[in-house]
Amino acid sequence: GAVVSQHPSRVICKSGTSVKIECRSLDFQATTMFWYRQFPKQSLMLMATSNEGSKATYEQGVEKDKFLINHASLTLSTLTVTSAHPEDSSFYICSAPSTDTQYFGPGTRLTVL
Amino acid sequence: KQEVTQIPAALSVPEGENLVLNCSFTDSAIYNLQWFRQDPGKGLTSLLLIQSSQREQTSGRLNASLDKSSGRSTLYIAASQPGDSATYLCAVPSGYSSASKIIFGSGTRLSIRP
């Protein structure tokens, strides 16, 4: 089946720094990818829709200047958490749709100290 | 607006029991429905995908049913084992396409006691 990868799987950073997370569709192309966030003991909530060659669409309450999304190719979307703070610590998961369903990446655990 | 609800939020049963997890959704016009498993601190593992035209799917000890008219799906786990302990998530696309964003339920945290 289709595979979506994320890198890094885990990152620890200091408050105020920026962190970039990559999401790749390994064996299919995706004009759209989705970024989700999961806080401890909660479900996944959609943050934004990444669109290849155009601006991302953000869900209500998600700051677009803080969570920068770039979808420069049909197989890669990046999420950059700018000026990270401890409250941004979370599990970030991306997904990419294929012909029949969506495939999820393994997730990135971000810890901001 | 599609909403997905899962009950119970948590369930603890002794090993060997059969059990049912419930999922309900408000908009019956779904493209498909998917059940996932999530272990603590890990990503999602897809368990079963039911297309809109299907009523159930089976994989090993797992059976998922879909009743669009009532907006319900169930995940049946037979002969539960301690290794089944995890959080189970139900999810549907927000639109009638596999390219739509996914709406997740809040999950059922399952614990199987040895």
Q: Which residues of A touch B46 (CB under 8 A)?
A: 104
Average pLDDT, chain B: 95
Asked if B43 and A105 come within 8 Å (Cβ–Cβ), the reply is yes
Q: Looking at chain A, which residue has its C-alpha nearest residue B89?
A: A43
Within chain A, how many helices (H) and strands (E) appear?
0, 11
3-state secondary structure of B84: helix
Altogether, the residues listed in chain A come to a count of 113
pLDDT above 90: residue A58: yes
- Distances in Å between the alpha carbon of A77 and those of A26, A30, B59? 12, 9, 32
In tens, the pLDDT along A71-107 reads 989 999 999 999 999 999 999 999 999 887 889 999 9
Q: What residues are paired with A96 via a beta bridge?
A: A103
Q: Which two tokens stand for residue B72?
A: 């319900």
CA distance between the termini of chain B: 41
In tens, the pLDDT along B27-60 reads 999 999 999 999 998 999 999 999 999 999 999 9
- Closest by CA to B92, choosing from A31, A44, A94, A32, is A44
Give residue A1's pLDDT band: very low, low, confident or very high (50, 70, 90). low
